Amino acid sequence: MSTTGKVTGIVSNLVTVQVDGPVAENELCHIDLKGTKLLAEVIKVGGDKASVQVFESTRGLRCGDSVEFLGKMLEVQLGPGLLSSSYDGLQNNLATMEDVFLKRGEYTAPLDHTKLWDFVPEAKVGDKVQAASWLGEVKEGWLPHKIMVPFSFKGEYTVKSIKEAGQYNIDTVIAVLTAEDGEDVEVTMVQKWPVKVAVKGYKEKPRPQRIMETGIRMFDTFDPIAEGGTGFIPGPFGCGKTVLQHAIAKQGEADVIVMAACGERANEVVEIFTEFPELIDPHTGRNLMERTTIICNTSNMPVAAREASVYTAMTICEYYRAMGLKCLLLADSTSRWAQALREMSNRMEELPGQDAFPVDLSAIISNFYARAGMVVLNNGKTGAVTFIGTVSPAGGNLKEPVTESTKKAARCFYALEQSRADQKRYPAVNPIDSYSKYLEYPEIISYLDEKVEKGWVDLVIKAKNCVRRGREMKDQIDILGDDGVPMNYHIDFWKSEMIDFAFLQQDAFDEVDALCPLERQKYMLNLIMDICSRDFDFEDYEQCRDYFKNLINDLRQMNYTGFESKEFYAYKDKITKLLESNGK
């Protein structure tokens, strides 16, 4: 018989329960509020008292209300139909809820149990299989969705029988496996997995080998993120964090995108709901929504489910990774998740760490980032989960616990900056403070040598140095005045402005400029760095400024026109003429 209990205390969504039997940490329970079952999770046990965080509003709850423990942790259902779905943090399907308002205790099925899928078997009777081995395949949109041996299976199994090709729903037993001890187990197209446990079932996790293209010059060229890599974007509000993240979601070179809207604005999610179905994936030409799953726990939804939402999203990514697919997980924002942890820790009256956050915050964050990565599956194929999280530092001050903890865990750092945003220099990523550790990986350097051109990373570093030098010159000019510095200070400054305006800045709302393929980035960077390597001769700094402003203007117009179009080359010719008039 399962454990039951009675409510003995309520502070907001923290409820204490007197239990009559064994309970497990993170075990789920239902609290009965006049017939409505509120889902909650055990977060602390002391004696016969369990503290549970309730994933719903506790309004109207009383002491003495009964509690039933479910004997399992928070799980997600994994199977065909996850893509193009929109879930809340507990994987309830938001689209199938009828009311305009979210009703407490309303739980909807994550997957469609009636839909038929075209199943094609891949394993044969007698095959030896283990957890995550591929048994067959269905087409989910255009993606090959592998039906796998459930991740929870331990040891080796033999395929006893497998369904022939045909149309089945997800509950159909598609294979029977015989365990080592001779017991037969049935496998359907759907399996369950507890979200807080990392999915294993792969052979190894090597270092990342290649970069994930985003079409954003600032990322791909200056600070590329690797496939299976991790990165984070901290920034004060109003710096374009969301626009940037949506651009990555739209353009990121990945098979599957999972977006976790964690404690952020509902209208931003609505933007995804509205725009994605109409957008085309630039890499496959298919509808963008077909490869996207949205996990949505907006800021007004129950706080406790925020934490669940990022884990749910990660588990779905790991599931698709085990099929040999490239997944991209975007979480906006991990600070809200950390704040949810803080609220709970506070209500439990734990001794607080810095800024009242729980002391194990850093460990929780780094454990989560560690679930990303590229893996080699048991069958030799590879899959990847690339993770980009945003951080919303209080007051825009990066010296706060969430940013600092994340900096230790993530390999790429994209520092959004208020002053750049104020000047409308978008994306407002500071090119000097930001970094990608992947540019130091020999694997990535040689990959880029091949993919872009020999010596590409050297050119990128040269460009970065140009920007840095320009910044230093600007500081000098500001101190000494325009006339107080030698001409080459002005020239170096304007060279860096040229890189900034014509390369780093990018108009996310312009049809052409929003997506800049690597090939085009290569062309533009070479063109700009060629200009930077020239010597110029000016009579005064005003002439210098006007000259570079003209150059910048033409380069920007190039960005707005189709790559290698007539107009594109017309601007290029203008630039060539300008260069012939000065420059050596």
Output the CA–CA distances (angstroms, integers) from residue 313 to 7, 9, 134, 141, 181, in the order listed: 31, 32, 22, 20, 35
For another protein, the closer CB: 253 or 343: 343
Site for another protein, residues 516 to 555, rule: CB under 8 A: 542, 545, 549-550, 553
Task: Specify whether the CB–CB gap between 230 and 372 falls below 8 A.
Answer: yes
Site for another protein, residues 162 to 191, rule: CB under 8 A: none
For another protein, the closer CB: 1 or 100: 100
Residue that has been written with the tokens 């915050």 in this structure = 361
Closest listed residue to residue 128, CA positions, set 155, 158, 101, 104 = 158
Which DSSP symbol is given to 112?
-
* Helix or strand (DSSP H, E) at 117: strand 117-121
| Least Cβ distance, residue 62 to another protein (angstroms) | 5
| Least Cβ distance, residue 551 to another protein (angstroms) | 11
CA–CA gap between residue 24 and residue 43 (Å, rounded) = 9
Q: For another protein, which stretch binds (CB under 8 A), given 195-203, 300-308, 446-454, 465-473?
A: 300-308
- The alpha-helical segments, DSSP class H, found in 322-376 are 334-347, 361-369
81, 110, 231, 236: which one contacts another protein (CB under 8 A)?
A: 236
Q: Is 133 in the site for another protein (CB under 8 A)?
A: no
Q: Is 346 in the site for another protein (CB under 8 A)?
A: yes
Q: Is 270 in the site for another protein (CB under 8 A)?
A: yes
Cis peptide before 2 (omega within 30 of 0): no
For another protein, the closer CB: 333 or 521: 333
For another protein, the closer CB: 60 or 455: 60
| Least Cβ distance, residue 482 to another protein (angstroms) | 6
CA–CA gap between residue 207 and residue 444 (Å, rounded) = 10
**Residues 551, 554, 556, 559: is their CA dihedral positive or negative?**
negative
Single-letter amino acid code for the residue at 538: F
What are the E-state strand segments in 130-249?
Answer: 134-140, 143-148, 157-162, 166-168, 175-179, 184-187, 191-194, 230-234
**Residues 303, 306, 308, 312: is their CA dihedral positive or negative?**
positive
| Least Cβ distance, residue 116 to another protein (angstroms) | 25
Single-letter amino acid code for the residue at 3: T
129, 149, 256, 296: which one contacts another protein (CB under 8 A)?
A: 296
Site for another protein, residues 91 to 120, rule: CB under 8 A: 94-95, 97, 99-104
Q: For another protein, which stretch binds (CB under 8 A), given 264-272, 281-289, 447-455, 489-497?
A: 264-272
Q: For another protein, which stretch binds (CB under 8 A), given 173-181, 245-253, 430-438, 556-564?
A: 556-564
Q: Is 242 in the site for another protein (CB under 8 A)?
A: yes
CB atoms near residue 497 (< 10 Å): 18
Which DSSP symbol is given to 224?
P
- Which tokens in the block code for residue 441? 């990986």
Q: Is 355 in the site for another protein (CB under 8 A)?
A: yes
Task: Specify whether the CB–CB gap between 508 and 559 falls below 8 A.
Answer: no
35, 509, 535, 581: which one contacts another protein (CB under 8 A)?
A: 509
44, 163, 207, 265: which one contacts another protein (CB under 8 A)?
A: 265
Q: Is 301 in the site for another protein (CB under 8 A)?
A: yes
141, 179, 207, 273: which one contacts another protein (CB under 8 A)?
A: 273
For another protein, the closer CB: 12 or 130: 12
Q: For another protein, which stretch binds (CB under 8 A), given 163-171, 182-190, 464-472, 474-482?
A: 474-482
298, 334, 406, 430: which one contacts another protein (CB under 8 A)?
A: 298
Q: For another protein, which stretch binds (CB under 8 A), given 109-117, 155-163, 348-356, 456-464?
A: 348-356
**191-220 per-residue burial string, b: 16 or more CB within 10 A, e: under 16:** bebbbbbbbebbeeeeebbbbbbbbbbbbb
Single-letter amino acid code for the residue at 294: I
Q: Is 284 in the site for another protein (CB under 8 A)?
A: no
Task: Specify whether the CB–CB gap between 573 and 565 falls below 8 A.
Answer: no
Number of residues counted as binding another protein (CB under 8 A): 76
Q: Is 8 in the site for another protein (CB under 8 A)?
A: yes
Site for another protein, residues 381 to 440, rule: CB under 8 A: 392, 394-397, 422-424
CA–CA gap between residue 526 and residue 449 (Å, rounded) = 14
Output the CA–CA distances (angstroms, integers) from residue 529 to 13, 81, 339, 358, 459, in the order listed: 57, 47, 44, 48, 8
Site for another protein, residues 53 to 72, rule: CB under 8 A: 57-64
266, 363, 370, 461: which one contacts another protein (CB under 8 A)?
A: 266
For another protein, the closer CB: 303 or 313: 303
For another protein, the closer CB: 377 or 558: 558
CA–CA gap between residue 89 and residue 99 (Å, rounded) = 18
Q: Is 342 in the site for another protein (CB under 8 A)?
A: yes
| Least Cβ distance, residue 400 to another protein (angstroms) | 9
For another protein, the closer CB: 397 or 465: 397
